[in-house]
Structure formats: structure tokens, C-alpha cells
Amino acid sequence: MTTQLEYARQGIITEEMKTVAESEGLSESFIRDHVAKGEIVIPCNPNRKNQKIAGIGTGLRTKVNASIGTSSDICDISLEVQKAQAAEQEGADTLMELSAAGDLDEVRRTVLANTNLPVGNVPLYQAFKETIRKYKNPAKLDPEFLFDLIEQQLEDGLSFMAIHCGINLYTIERLRKQGFRYGGLASKGGTYMVAWMDINKRENPLYEQFDRVCNLMKKYDAVLSLGNGIRAGAIHDSHDRAQMAEMIINCELAEIGRANGCQMMVEGPGHVPLDEIEGNIMLEKRMSGNAPYYVLGPIPCDTGAGYDHISAAIGAASSARFGADLVCYITPAEHLALPDVKDVREGVRATRLAARIGDISKYPDRRENEKQAAMARRDMRWDDLEKYLLFPEVAKSIREERAPKQKETCTMCGDFCAMKKGMEIFEKDITDKR
């Protein structure tokens, strides 16, 4: 199959590129040229009909990913469908189906049938879970089974995959020589692959046969997201030698994959203190040739459990400001429990707000909406204000719950309203710039 990247290199503007251009308010040639460079990816497996088209990368709005999935403690397919639909309703751009319990084929196919979002996953989850079911030992994973499983999942319609190709024996050696970590390992798939390599004394087959991985992804024009299996799970591990070894390898693989015509993203970085986020993104962009960067959080502190969606939103806003392209949401349940539907909604909302904050800093020419909202608030045009808000229904419900005596004001200030008094003073001097 010809990929979006290969079409763009031939000078062809696909329907998917046209859709991205229209949704972003950019020219079709801009999208084509950046897809051709590997700086924009479009996850759009053609086996899936009616999926939404989202461009991820340079010059585009920072996108938001929501993750769902069963666990061994809570395994309810209907709940996962509700979570997927809630994520879509709240404005997520992509979805990762990360189930680790139940009939994983059924869960995946049911979720795919009940959302229009582009869906991704981590194939190592099912590979190790099926191996454990069969052999009671994850170290018995057969690499051929893993590759067959990747193709089966792509055949079902997944449009992107987080595949842990950058973990290799050299990376593991860095972990040992630095005396492991303060926060341990945070990636389920990555940790099981590290264990497989350690027990079998073999190289990671996803690294060793990287061309094979790329060819499978190309067959379905799916985006290969280079998984961050050695990401930091604590800010004191941020940018340690193990994380940087994997990052260097992933950036190198992104270049190799693009040369083979495969759409590529790089993932990172986990827990990162706020002052290191800019440097992290600069390194990924420089080393990968500006490949789209899919950031997981990042979470800039280790003590916010219960409010980690807020911690992560702070990190996400900074990441978007400095060039991140896709942000994976964090919910209030992070580090504590499997998210429920309410957690999913809160996670998407917080991350969308963070992305908006980052984008209006990254793209100063895209602040018109903010100006219109400010003027509507100044003029106390409440119905107009709702049109510019990210969460108009929430704002409206709060206002209606505590309705003011004077319709034009709110109950925060009542008749002591600064906006109302300011308009009385300067009404004649206001230039209408609406």
C-alpha cells in the first residue's frame, strides 16, 4: 500500500491531507510538504471506515489522546465503550485501547466499532498476556507470534501503534550501570520486554527486525509510534542515561522508518520537572529530524496523586508551547486506580485546556478566539461568550445554578461589578473591533 508519506513525496495531495488542511485552516500544499518531510503524520488505516482524520505535527493544533482499557481487577467491555465514547464527546483527537484483561480481540473490535476516533494500541500487552495464558511464563513469548499479532491488530483497523523498538541490550546495560532508578520502570510493555531480553539473553526482536515492523505498518498505512519503554517514572530519573539511550535509538529509528516510507512518531518522556521540558522537546526534534512528538503527560512532580490531571496539564501546556504535537491525557485516577467515565471526561478536558494554552503561546497569530472571548466578557454578552469557550456547557450550568439578580452581571461581584462600571466609564471611548 502507498502511504500518506509516499503520496506526499510524489507530490500527491490525498483526501486525508485535504481534510487536515481544511480543519487546521492551512493550505493543502503546506500539509503535503510537511507530510513529505515526515513532520506531519495522519493516522488513517483504510480498513477502518468513517474514522475521523487528525493531522499530528508541525504547524498544527496540538492534539489530545485519551487512553482506555481493561485490567485484571476491572474488566468490563461495556465500560470501556462508555469511556471511548466519553473521550470522543469531550473532544479527544485520538484514542489508545490499552486493555490487559479479558478477550483482548473482542475488546479491541468492540471499541473500534463504537468510536470514530483513530485508535492505537500497544501490541506487547496482548502478546505477553496471551503468552502467559498459554505457557504461564511471559519469557516464552515467540517473536513470530508477536509479529503475527501486530498484523492481526492492524487488520482490525488500528491506525497507530506504540511499539517498543528502542529498547535493546545497550539500554538495559545503562539501567544496570546507573544502579536502576528512584521510580523504577513505568511502562508495562517495556518492562515485560526488558524481562524477556534479560531472561532469554536475546536482543529485542522489535529492534532487531525493525524493517519488518515498518513493512507491517506500511501495509496498512498506520503510524508507527516509537514507544517510550524506559521513560522516567519519577522526576529524579528524568533524562538519566537509560532514558537518553532509548531516546537516541528511537530518534534514529524514526529517520530509518521515514526513509522506508513509514509514517513515524516518537514517544516520551514520562515524569519530567518543568525546567527540563523545553530541553527534552528540543532534543527529540533535533535528533529525530523534527518527527512528531507524542508526549505522555508529562508529569512535572511526583506528589500530586488524586490531582495528577492538573499536574500533567501544567506539563502538557509547557510541552505544547515548546513543540509537542500529541499529548496523552492523564486522569485524576493516575497512579491510583483504573479510570472511570468521569475520570476520562476530566482528563480530556484538562488536557484540551493545556493544549490550548500551549498553542496560543506557540502560535501567537491564533489568539483571535481569546480576544473575542475577552470582549464578550467585557461587554457582558454572556450568550456570545459561550461560543468562544472550550467548555460552554459547564460554564452555562455554573452560571445558571447561581443566577445573578442583575442579568448582565454574575454572582461573583453582583452590583459591585468591575466590568459593568468600566463600561459605564469608557463606553464612548470603546472602538468596536468585533
Exposure of 196 by Cβ count < 10 A (0-12 exposed, 13-18 middle, 19+ buried)?
buried
All cell numbers assigned to 306 = 488524586
All cell numbers assigned to 262 = 513509514
CB atoms inside a 10 Å sphere around CB 60: 24
- Kindly provide the b/e burial profile for residues 84-96, where b requires at least 16 CB atoms within 10 angstroms of the residue's own CB: bbbbbebebbbbb
All cell numbers assigned to 132 = 502467559
All cell numbers assigned to 157 = 483497523
Reply yes or no: is the peptide bond before residue 339 cis, omega within 30 of 0: no
**Hunting for cell 522508518 — which residue is that?**
257
Three-class secondary structure of residue 181 per DSSP: coil
Read off the pLDDT of residues 8-41 as tens digits, 9 standing for 90 and up. Answer: 999 999 999 999 999 999 999 999 999 999 999 9
Give the start-to-end residue ranges of the domains of the chain.
Answer: 51-365, 370-429
**Tell me, which fold does domain 51-365 have in CATH?**
TIM Barrel (3.20.20)
CA–CA separation, 377 and 113 (whole Å): 41
**Hunting for cell 475577552 — which residue is that?**
374
Nearest alpha-carbon partner for 71 in 336, 345, 348: 336
Q: pTM for this structure?
A: 0.96
CA–CA separation, 128 and 108 (whole Å): 16
Can you name the residues that pair with 120 across neighbouring β-strands?
96, 160
All cell numbers assigned to 260 = 522506508
Read off the pLDDT of residues 173-230 as tens digits, 9 standing for 90 and up. Answer: 999 999 999 999 999 999 999 999 999 999 999 999 999 999 999 999 999 999 999 9
Count Cα neighbours of 235 within 13 Å in the Cβ-side half-sphere. 17
Q: At what angle do helices 308-322 and 277-288 cross, to 10 degrees?
A: 50
The separation between CA 421 and the C-alpha centre of its own chain, rounded to angstroms, equals 44
Nearest alpha-carbon partner for 225 in 161, 297, 289: 161
Q: What is the pLDDT along the chain (434 residues), one digit of tens a residue?
A: 899 999 999 999 999 999 999 999 999 999 999 999 999 999 999 999 999 999 999 999 999 999 999 999 999 999 999 999 999 999 999 999 999 999 999 999 999 999 999 999 999 999 999 999 999 999 999 999 999 999 999 999 999 999 999 999 999 999 999 999 999 999 999 999 999 999 999 999 999 999 999 999 999 999 999 999 999 999 999 999 999 999 999 999 999 999 999 999 999 999 999 999 999 999 999 999 999 999 998 999 999 999 999 999 999 999 999 999 999 999 999 999 999 999 999 999 999 999 999 999 999 999 999 999 999 999 999 999 999 999 999 999 999 999 998 888 899 999 899 998 998 899 888 876 54
CA–CA separation, 325 and 329 (whole Å): 13
Cα–Cα distances in angstroms (integers) from residue 397 to residues 65, 240, 400, in the given order: 26, 46, 5
8-state DSSP, 264: E
